[in-house]
Structure 1
Amino acid sequence: MLRYFGKAFAAALDVTPNNTEKLDGFSYEELLEAGSIATRVLNSIEQKSSGEKFRIGYSPTVDGKFIVQNPFEPDPAPFSKDVAMLIGSDLNEFTYFNRNLITPKSLNQVKEIIGEKFGAENVDKYISLYKKAYPESTEPHEMLGFDIFFRSGVLKQGAAKSKQGGAPVYMYFFSWKSPVNDGSLGACHGMELPFMFNNVGLARTMTGGTKEAYILEDQISSAWINFVKTGDPNAKSLPKWEPYNPKTGTTMVFDYNCKIVNDHDKELIEFLSAFPSTRLF
């Protein structure tokens, strides 16, 4: 569907192959509005055909000239073989878009929701694998708000980069939960960015600006600075961080107590990936 965005964008501007000179005369506001129209049209078509809610919009397009291939399909681009990679995702990616995922619920309510989505016969299996992956989780509603959509993609990209046999790939998993708004954001999409760029204080409405946040900020930003400088994110304040490969699954967990885990959620992801959608709720 993404490859049709350019055509939908042109249609919103009434531009065809016969009048492309019109593109030089549009204002910024007109181009922005055309992009919004194209996005709404394509999102509507995609949701009707798949039942999923996607965000379709501007993105790079493989044109065979400037972008000659998808960066990781079928294999990583050869020119990046000797460039190190740092990649990861957040525990609660989609709570930013649906905060109801992380609002308090009873265990019975959670079981009912899981049963409706995955079948009553799979509820106990779901809960068992979740607890194995996240043994420190204590609240029932947390079983609904975790992510495997981005996480699965991260694992695929990490495996592809590792298989390339060039510069290493380092994987992280951000699970520090913001206290803002009674914790409704959790470790949501983009929550790690203020920590990476050492501006937790400027993003207090997101991070809370707590003492713990500043400690984690120092740890994460130090890792990012080291990676930018050397291609190796290891920092004195963090556990020893080995490169990722599919056999070990080595991943740095960024939380109140940073630690190294190895494929902590492998069985859970494999179980849920057997269902039609990896977007949980």
Structure 2
Amino acid sequence: MRKFGFSAALLPALFAGTAFAQPATTPVVETDKGLVQGLEQDGIDAFLGIRYAAPPTGERRFMPPEPAEAWDGIADASGYGAPCMQLYTPSGPNASDLTRQFQSIFLTGTEEKIDNEDCLFLNVWTPDAGDGGKRPVMVWFHGGGYAYGSGGWPAYNGRNLAEKGDVVVVTVNHRLNAFGYMNLAERFGANFAASGNAGNLDLVRSLEWVRDNIAAFGGDPDNVTIMGESGGGSKVSHLMAMPAADGLFDKAVIQSGPGVTSGKPAEAAAYAGTVLDAAGVESVEQLRTLPADDLIAAIREATPADSGFARGPSFGPIADGSILPRDPFLPAAPEQSSDIPVLIGYNKDEMTLFVASQPWFGRLDEATLEMMSGAMGEQAVAAVAAYREMYPDYSPTHLASAAMGSRFVQGSYLLADQQSRSADAPVYVYRLTWETPVGGGILRSPHTLDIPLMFDNAKESAALVGTGEEAQRMADMMSDAWIAFAKTGTPSSPLLPEWEPYTVADRNVMELDLEPRIVDDPERAIRELGG
């Protein structure tokens, strides 16, 4: 070819060392079901879209996950697998510029275009898949509640964490919303007894895959840390109480998502019945063959528009007495996880991310704040008063947001209290107080801010954390601590003071900021409001 005055044979040489250079392939790795090969990401071996269970479709729809079938040849692991069918996304035609900015690292809108029932895939990043190493393994369960999300969001890219810590990072897709958490036992009988917890059984299956295969990727199956934020934190909490997960992990990280209680079977069955009626499903055959998009449409029809944040019905694990014997952390922490070190925490201004698109955000005056809190009840009034004392510089908007986010505070401390009362292993509590400069600083320390920092993805996540030295310093600090926790069960960093465990007698909390410090019970007033 001479159209442009040069030979096509020169193309590899011309593009070598540029953004167009062909990425190197990884070593071929043998899993228990077949061979896989991925691509390097700047020197780190990345295996994306590995199938860890059989497609949960047809006869397997709403059933517990089954092992994947073996394959011939070398499976392509160069691109992410499909996310589960997505139920909800915070974007839309009226999304703010700031919301769309965040979509660059949390691809919620994009994933509605590519979602699929066939979604049981995971991703692995490892410094060297072929060296026979025994590195700590850090398994991440995504946020998005139990309704949407995937392990393929750019903010979750494990490349930097794997390189910095010499660890193996795994992210997981699993069944969500009705596909993973619709309790069909009452309508269709005992064959569907697991349907209300199928999504969490997927997580267990992914950990079984890690146990059986991660050594081939340079990981240590005897040193596995499970981690998650928001809904992912709840998933971690529930795995700590699931007998099927016992022995599959060694440490747990719960970020802005304490899962203290679970759904109740009767309520979940009633919600399922409403969805099935909206879909016109009367038989098991119809249940198996209903198009996935039609089921999503039925969920939207059957769910009140204002559902969410503990209002109205929603999908999630249920305490069925078997798969999940009881609420994870009530009346006490799960005995099976008494030997699991726990790192748990939250961000100072969780709710700003959710309410920033509301017409009142940034415009509240004192009179309107008083009316809003009064309408929400006595506890909201007390929370506003407590936050006003804690943060005298907060505007009415930020006081309202803080009061709405008090559930993150109360749930985190309740879980930490329960675990520290009975566990043999230590509990460590953090509170992220560093404020992002994006949007003129209006979000302060919002939900999800911790993710790019502990993943050491500050540069790649400038949409959320901004640019400059501060964000990278926070990423250095937090990724150090998370890596140390995965390696030793103690979060530490040269950038942090000594981090003492949390107990009900010594409520040591690490405030993560440019000048980190250990503080004693920093939100006592809010914690005590939770009972």
TMscore range, shorter length: 0.7 to 0.9
Residue type at the aligned position of 2:418? A
Shift of 1:257: 1.6
How many equivalent pairs are there?
A: 257
Shift of 1:98: 1.2
1:138 aligns with 2:138: no
Residue type at the aligned position of 1:77? P
Shift of 1:200: 1.5
Residue type at the aligned position of 1:103? G
Q: Which residue of 1 aligns with 2:295?
A: 31
**Which residues of 2 match residues 65-80 of structure 1 at below 5 A?**
65-80=322-337
**Which residues of 2 match residues 23-172 of structure 1 at below 5 A?**
23-38=287-302, 40-41=303-304, 54=311, 56-99=313-356, 103=362, 109-110=365-366, 113-114=369-370, 117-118=373-374, 129-130=386-387, 133-134=390-391, 138-141=393-396, 142-146=398-402, 147-172=405-430
Distance 1:127 1:26 in 2: 47
Change (3 A) 1:173 1:14: same
Distance 1:15 1:241 in 2: 54
1:12 aligns with 2:281: no
- Cα deviation per residue 1:131-163 (whole Å; 9 max; x = unaligned)? 6534xx634344333232110011100000001
Residue type at the aligned position of 2:369? I
8 A contact 1:102–1:184 mirrored in 2: no
- Cα deviation per residue 1:88-141 (whole Å; 9 max; x = unaligned)? 111111111112676376xxx33662476259xx9x98787436534xx63434
Change (3 A) 1:199 1:55: farther
SS of corresponding position for 1:173: strand
8 A contact 1:102–1:185 mirrored in 2: no
Distance 2:440 2:296 in 1: 36
Residue type at the aligned position of 1:229? K
Change (3 A) 1:251 1:34: same
Structure 2, unpaired ranges of 5+: 1-262
Distance 1:252 1:164 in 2: 22
Distance 1:26 1:195 in 2: 42
Distance 2:294 2:383 in 1: 48
Per residue, is there more strand in 1 or in 2? 2
Q: TM-score, normalised by structure 1?
A: 0.78
8 A contact 1:176–1:187 mirrored in 2: yes
8 A contact 1:225–1:233 mirrored in 2: yes
8 A contact 1:133–1:264 mirrored in 2: no
8 A contact 1:81–1:167 mirrored in 2: yes
Change (3 A) 1:241 1:81: same
Change (3 A) 1:102 1:239: farther
Per residue, is there more helix in 1 or in 2? 1
Residue type at the aligned position of 1:113? L
**Which residues of 2 match residues 177-196 of structure 1 at below 5 A?**
177-196=435-454
8 A contact 1:110–1:143 mirrored in 2: no
Shift of 1:61: 1.8
Structure 1, unpaired ranges of 5+: 275-281
Change (3 A) 1:55 1:166: farther
Per mean C-alpha deviation after superposition, the further-off stretch among 157-166 and 6-15 is 6-15
Residue type at the aligned position of 2:272? G
Distance 2:441 2:466 in 1: 10
Segments of 4+ in structure 1 off by > 4 A? 124-129
1:230 aligns with 2:488: yes
Shift of 1:165: 3.0
SS of corresponding position for 2:272: helix
> Percent identity over the alignment?
26
Residue type at the aligned position of 2:350? E
SS of corresponding position for 1:167: coil
Distance 1:111 1:245 in 2: 40
By relative contact order (CA 8 Å, sep 6+), the higher-ranking structure is 1
Change (3 A) 1:8 1:242: farther
8 A contact 2:384–2:400 mirrored in 1: no
Distance 2:447 2:465 in 1: 12
SS of corresponding position for 2:428: strand
8 A contact 1:170–1:243 mirrored in 2: yes
Per mean C-alpha deviation after superposition, the further-off stretch among 141-150 and 244-253 is 141-150
Change (3 A) 1:126 1:188: closer
Residue type at the aligned position of 2:506? T
> Out of 245, 251, 259, which is 2:509 matched to?
251
Shift of 1:230: 1.8
Change (3 A) 1:233 1:102: farther
8 A contact 2:346–2:432 mirrored in 1: yes
Shift of 1:54: 3.1
SS of corresponding position for 2:415: helix
Per mean C-alpha deviation after superposition, the further-off stretch among 253-262 and 63-72 is 63-72
Q: CA RMSD in A?
A: 3.1
